[in-house]
Chains A and B, each alone.
Chain A
Amino acid sequence: MNTTILLLLFTPLVGFLINTFFGKSLGKTISGVLGTTAIVVSFLCAICLFSQINANGKSFTFHLADWFSIGNIKINFSFLFDQLSVLWLLFVTGIGSLIHLYSISYMHEDENMHKFFSYLNLFVFFMIALVAGSNLLIMFIGWEGVGLCSYLLIGFWYKNQDYNDAAKKAFIMNRIGDLGFLIGIFILGYIFNSLEFSEIAKGINSEVFLKTIDLPLLSLAALCLFIGACGKSAQLPLATWLPDAMAGPTPVSALIHAATMVTAGIFMITRMNFLFDLTPDIQNIIAIVGAITAIVAASIGLVQNDIKKVLAYSTVSQLGLMFLALGLGAYEVAVFHVITHAFFKACLFLGSGSVIHALHGEQDMRNMGGLRKVMPITFWTMMISTLAISGIFPFSGFWSKDEILMTAFHTNIPLWVVGSIASIMTAFYMFRLMYLTFFNDFRGTEEQKHHLHESPALITIPLVILATLAAIGGAISLPGNSWLNHYLAPLFAHKSHEAHTLGTTEYTLMAVATLGALLGIAIAYSKYLMKKEIPVVDEEVQGLHKVLSNKYYLDEIYMASIVKPIYVISNFAKNYVEKFISTAVIGIGGATYALSIKGKKIQNGNIGVYLFAFIFGMVGFLVYVFIIRDVK
């Protein structure tokens, strides 16, 4: 078992090291195959662990090495394998493998392909550390590591300054969240004298603790952790980095900015569910932030024309729905949606990558259209995923989204309304994307039309696999008979569960949700297929449409309220504070120098003078000691 765990943890790291140091000389194909193999090995190990834990239900901790201890807090390099972490490992490495495979073909034109694969491998390594770490600090290492890889990969095409800026934006926004996370870790360490999840869980459920509970401090810790999750999972107000992160190559968007890294926040909150259950105020905040993010991002997604931007806003919106579920305490529902979302969103991103690949880098949907006949596999796989994300029966998204909305309906009707509207919007913009991309006539240049082609097998195979999973993935948690809820039950052992029974309300809700999705699809159908409308050029948009196109002016607001004031302060510091300090420092140096210029005259090199000074000084000293002092 130890070998399996070591292989799981370290093959991506080995892949990263080999690709970093020897990738260039290995050649593109070998370096790609090597990177993919590393992840596949991890995936196979994850399957082993999963089958073991699924069979006997026992979680265990793997102790790799001691790290350090301060006072009573002992930190080890140890990894926790339980239902949650193994499930996450399974889909991280699984989808990771598919996307690596896809990248072999997709990135083949790029001169720095080995670098791409080494970054991707490093990302998977850190993601495994994040997920499997048995204490908050190991999780934090992974958390920072995936942030770094995200930065490196967004700015992968570093010659384009906009892409570099997007990478920096992602990194800085994440830093804000990370600071919150770090403060949360400190507070928890202060309260519980340990950072191990098991210890914190034990401490929090002990009778002594429940009697002497310091709720404000605990709430503060929970809030700080949630801020961390906001940064990583792109929730408002830290959401704006994710759409810009689409500057990275499409496989990166699929792996990091849709399927895995951005779900780290949800993972962390699920991991710390015992903490959040004690702080209902913070749970409310999470639910509200999630709902607002879901609807704001969905509404922006309605008018985007860049195919990847639509998917990016859709990701933010879906993450918002997951946070809504987390805030309502329905952790297993959020996990369910994370998994189905990983399937269909990865498929959609890879499909959009296939389209972009066929059009040689064209991302504007206004210049696409009619691709259905040339790219049938891409079209059908994306269609399945679109149906899934829109929540059409019986695709996976239907089940997971429906459960979120059902939970919301049972606890908080306004949140249900917001979530439902966001879902209708989702159905609309996703079908808008499909109609604009794949239907009607091709609107690009003749040159592009000439080169249109279906993508090679390495691209279509991952698409087909992911589309299959997107179609049937809902089977893991069907209402009434949920394998997932049963599987995850040990994690939420401290609270009793009422399973949703399927009654009239539930069937009505399902019908309402489906009708909503169909409504969204119908609007998109009449607008873009019947009337063959094409979105107007950017300068002509007006009114509400303009506000949406400009993303509610969020970037501008941040610019004016945060970036500009910081510039003013730093300019003041640069022009006045800095000047004052450097004048003082340079002044002291200058004075010393001037003095030494005068002083060095005394050292004229004449030994006679030195001797005279020496003897005269000696005599003066003696005169003082024996005559002047005695007279006094």
Chain B
Amino acid sequence: MNILEHVGIGNYITLSALLFCIGAFGLLYRRNAIIMFMSIEIMLNAVNLLLVAFSSYHEDPSGQVFVFFTMAVAAAEVAVGLAILVSVFRNIGNIDIDNLKNLKG
């Protein structure tokens, strides 16, 4: 509550929206899979920030608890994703997603 007295909830929402957009555009424009992963992490953390902010605003701790779960899932996702990237790199020598077209219909 006291934090929100110094910086208003609107600022958190704006920051979160900005971070999310940065992540989304990064995901769209970059072709390097690791950078794309980082973009996804930024988007996830934008959402996390929003969750924490609203949790304070509503004085409801369940939002913060939910963030922990999000982080755990994100960590697992990164672990699996990086493992896939390593094996992709071994197979085709780079991790540019434009080269991953073998599943073309």
Query: A503 interface residue, CB < 8 Å from B?
Result: no
Encoded as 1 (CB less than 8 Å from any A CB) or 0, chain B from 5 to 35 comes to 0000000000000000000100110010000
Instruction: Flag B74-105 by CB within 8 Å of A: 1 or 0 each.
Output: 00000000000000000000000110111111
A-B contact pairs, 11 of them (CB 8 A): A601-B105, A602-B105, A603-B104, A603-B105, A604-B104, A605-B103, A605-B105, A606-B97, A611-B27, A611-B36, A612-B28
Mask of A589-614 contacts with B, CB within 8 angstroms, 1/0: 00000000000111111111001100
Binding site secondary structure of chain A: loop
* Complexed CA–CA distance, A600 and B104 (Å): 8
In contact, A608 and B104 (Cβ under 8 angstroms): no
Identity of the chain A residue whose Cβ is nearest the Cβ of B29 in the assembled complex? A608
* Bound Cα distance from A611 to B33, whole angstroms: 12
The residues of A with any CB-CB pair to B shorter than 8 Å are 600-608, 611-612, 615
User: Nearest chain B CB to A278's CB is how many angstroms away?
Assistant: 75
Q: Smallest distance from the beta carbon of A381 to chain B beta carbons, Å?
A: 84
Q: Which of B36, B103, B105 has the most CB of A within 10 A?
A: B105
**Please, which residues of chain B bring their CB within 8 A of the CB of A612?**
28
B28:A605 contact, CB within 8 angstroms: no
What is the minimal beta-carbon distance from A600 to any residue of chain B, in angstroms? 4
Contact residues in A for B27 (Cβ distance below 8 Å):
611, 615
Interface size, chain B (Cβ < 8 Å): 13
* Distance A600 CA – B105 CA, assembled complex (angstroms): 5
CB distance from A361 to the nearest CB of B (A): 70
| Closest chain A residue to B97, Cβ basis | A607
A600, A602, A608: residue with the most chain B Cβ atoms closer than 10 Å: A608
Take A615-B24, A615-B27, A615-B28 as given contacts and tell me if A607 and B100 are in contact as well, using a CB distance cutoff of 8 Å. yes
Instruction: Give B33-45 as 1s and 0s: 1 = Cβ < 8 Å from A's Cβ atoms.
Output: 0001000000000
A600-B105, A601-B105 known; A606-B98 Cβ under 8 A = yes
Chain B residues, Cβ within 8 Å of A602: 105
Complex: how many Å from CA A607 to CA B28? 10
B31 partner residues in chain A, CB cutoff 8 A: 608
Chain B positions within 8 Å of A601 at CB level: 105
| Chain B residues whose C-beta falls within 8 Å of the C-beta of A604 in the assembled complex | 101, 104-105
Q: How far is the CA of A600 from the CA of B103 in the complex (A)?
A: 11
Give Cα A612 to B24, complex, Å: 9
Q: Determine the residue in chain B with the shortest Cβ distance to A616.
A: B28
Q: Which residues of chain A come closer than 8 Å to B104, judged between CB atoms?
A: 603-605
> In the complex, how many angstroms separate the beta carbon of A603 from the nearest chain B beta carbon?
4
Q: How distant is A619 from chain B, measured CB to nearest CB, in Å?
A: 8
Quick one: which of A600, A606, A611, A615 contacts B101, CB cutoff 8 A? A606
